[in-house]
Structure 1
């Protein structure tokens, strides 16, 4: 099968391209910019474009599938040529469904926790050498590629994202998967640039539940009121399995899960991670993994990349980075951090740089998000606001919306880095929350 990727360099797209190359497909692609690690990984597989840009001449009648990434625009010249030739154009999730429509599809959805839950499931399955196809949004220890597609595997585990599918397909990605087994971890308004109201956002999850195949299974977080409402109001037939935070305790900085089989020591911390773990356990049950085997495997799970991930520093200081940027994720990360390090001075840094997080109407969602930290710091770039053509935001406005008078607010990279360099990183513990990089801050030094 001959496939061509428009915007092959994306974190998701390049993994799919590699998976198809490994499957034996003929793969080509284009992009106007490709960064690491995508660049090296594509080059290693021999599918890195020779030059950057869009080339309509690459689009030929013998291409079986054109896969369109979100980075491309509706007026992309390669897309126009593909339409002109009448080629089949797929979004990323649409193509994944085509690859898995004859398999049992397991889809993990939710505003938060879906990457960690998917990672936990794959870790347990890998530990017990149970082979499945999969797609997950974070790099996992023991996995070379974050997409795996085979002819023979019976199951496919998919991280289900509610964001848009492609520039020409404005459905939420997870609506294309039609799960046989699904999980919903929580609902908290996100992607305000796309979903203008909370009800519009919730509606994506209503549609997701409605897309579960007849007689399927939904594992859901019964502690989330919005999730419960969606599940209770669903009209299609599926089996409902609720889960909640399990009992646990912290002894000498180590988290122990309380089970019928005794205390299980864990390598991760935080109530939200324990809640995620419980959801993963119920999904693994559906895949034939018994509880005893689940606990044996989960003890060695160290977390998904950038999810409360410990950074090895030259000075041996204690620092964790977390992908948290949406309000619910920030609150969960801070709560976990303050619980885990009760007796230490706690520094928390948050970078605001997404459209949602910089929207004045959305900022009130961050109320008390940084409470419990001895030093709370928020960074956003005034230059980024200009680039995004957004209105200026004052530090005073940020403090007001966070409801935290002691909040330190930095609006340019130089001031943030200067403050960072004054801190003794061996004094206290540090939590760095961002889907960016704090203006190039080196967290290892």
Structure 2
């Protein structure tokens, strides 16, 4: 099968391209910019475009599938040529469904926790050598590529994202998967640039639940009121399995899960991670993994990439980075940090980086998000606001919306870096929350 990727360099797209190459497909692609690690990984597989840009001449009648990434625009010249030739154009999720429509599809959805839960499931399955197809949005220890597609596997585990499918398909990605088994971890308004009201956002989850195949299974977080409402109001038939935060304790900085089989020591911390773990356990049950086998495997789970991930520093200071950027994710990460490090001085750094997080109407969602930290710092770039064509935001406005008068607010990277360099990183513990990089801050030094 001959496939062509428009915007092959994306974190998800390049993984799919590699998976298809490994499957024996003929793969080509284009992009106007490709960064690491995508660049090296595509080059290693021999599918890195020779030059950057869009080339309509690459689009030929013998292409079986054109896969269109969100990075491309509606007026992309390669897309125009594909339409002109009448080629089959797929969004990323649409193509994944085509590859898995004869398998049992397991879809993990939610505003927060879906990457971690999917990673936990894959870790347990990999530990017990149970082979499945999968797609997950973060790098996981023990896996070379975060997309796997085979002819023979019976199951496919998919991280279900509610963001848009492609520039020409404005459905939420997870609406294309039609799960046989699903999980919903939580609902907290996100992607405000696309879903203008909270109800617009919730509607995507209503549709997701409605897309579960007849007689399917939904594992859901019963501690989330919005999730419960969506589940209770669903009109289609499926089996409902609720889950909640399990009992646990912290002894000498180590988290222990309380189970019928005794205390299980864990390598991760935070109540939200324990909640995620309970959801993963229920999904693994559906895949034939008994609880005893689940606990044996989960002890060695160290977390998904950039989810409360410990950074090895030259000075041996204690620093964790987290992808947290949406308000619910920031609050969960800060809560976990405060619980884990009760006696240490706690520094929390948050970069407002996404369209949603920089939207004045959305900033109210961050109220009290940084409370309880001895030092709380928020950074956003005034230049980023200009690039995004957004109105200026004052530091005073940020403090007001966070409801935290002691908040330090930096609006340019130089000032942030200067403050960073004054800190003794061996004194206290540090939580760095961003989907960016704090203006190029090196967290290892």
Answering whether residue 262 of structure 2 is matched by residue 262 of structure 1, we say yes
Query: What is the DSSP-based 3-state SS (H/G/I as helix, E as strand, rest coil) of the residue aligned with 2:174?
Result: helix
Query: What is the DSSP-based 3-state SS (H/G/I as helix, E as strand, rest coil) of the residue aligned with 1:273?
Result: helix
1:288-340: CA deviations, max 9, x gaps? 00000000000000000000000000000000000000000000000000000
Task: Give the distance between the partners of 2:96 and 2:424, measured in 1 at CA.
Answer: 47
1:131-173: CA deviations, max 9, x gaps? 0000000000000000000000000000000000000000000
1:274-301: CA deviations, max 9, x gaps? 0000000000000000000000000000
Structure 1 unmatched ranges of 5 or more: none
TM-score when scaled to structure 1? 1.00
Answering whether residue 291 of structure 2 is matched by residue 291 of structure 1, we say yes
Answering whether residue 203 of structure 2 is matched by residue 203 of structure 1, we say yes
Task: Give the distance between the partners of 1:18 and 1:263, measured in 2 at CA.
Answer: 41
Answering whether residue 321 of structure 2 is matched by residue 321 of structure 1, we say yes
1:184-238: CA deviations, max 9, x gaps? 0000000000000000000000000000000000000000000000000000000
Query: What is the DSSP-based 3-state SS (H/G/I as helix, E as strand, rest coil) of the residue aligned with 1:349?
Result: strand
Task: Give the distance between the partners of 1:7 and 1:103, measured in 2 at CA.
Answer: 27
TM-superposed CA distance for 1:241, in Å, is 0.0
Task: Give the distance between the partners of 1:377 and 1:14, measured in 2 at CA.
Answer: 34
TM-superposed CA distance for 1:89, in Å, is 0.0
TM-superposed CA distance for 1:353, in Å, is 1.1
Structure 2 unmatched ranges of 5 or more: none
Query: What is the DSSP-based 3-state SS (H/G/I as helix, E as strand, rest coil) of the residue aligned with 2:192?
Result: coil
Q: Alignment length, in residue pairs? A: 445
Task: Give the distance between the partners of 2:441 and 2:86, measured in 1 at CA.
Answer: 47
Task: Give the distance between the partners of 2:293 and 2:388, measured in 1 at CA.
Answer: 49
Task: Give the distance between the partners of 1:208 and 1:433, measured in 2 at CA.
Answer: 29
Task: Give the distance between the partners of 1:263 and 1:119, measured in 2 at CA.
Answer: 22
Task: Give the distance between the partners of 1:25 and 1:250, measured in 2 at CA.
Answer: 49
Task: Give the distance between the partners of 2:366 and 2:374, measured in 1 at CA.
Answer: 17
Task: Give the distance between the partners of 1:156 and 1:405, measured in 2 at CA.
Answer: 48
| Equivalent residue number for residue 219 of structure 2 | 219
1:247-280: CA deviations, max 9, x gaps? 0000000000000000000000000000000000
1:32-60: CA deviations, max 9, x gaps? 00000000000000000000000000000
Question: Superposition RMSD on alpha carbons, in Å?
Answer: 0.2
1:61-91: CA deviations, max 9, x gaps? 0000000000000000000000000000000
TM-score when scaled to structure 2? 1.00
Task: Give the distance between the partners of 2:267 and 2:428, measured in 1 at CA.
Answer: 21
Query: What is the DSSP-based 3-state SS (H/G/I as helix, E as strand, rest coil) of the residue aligned with 1:218?
Result: strand
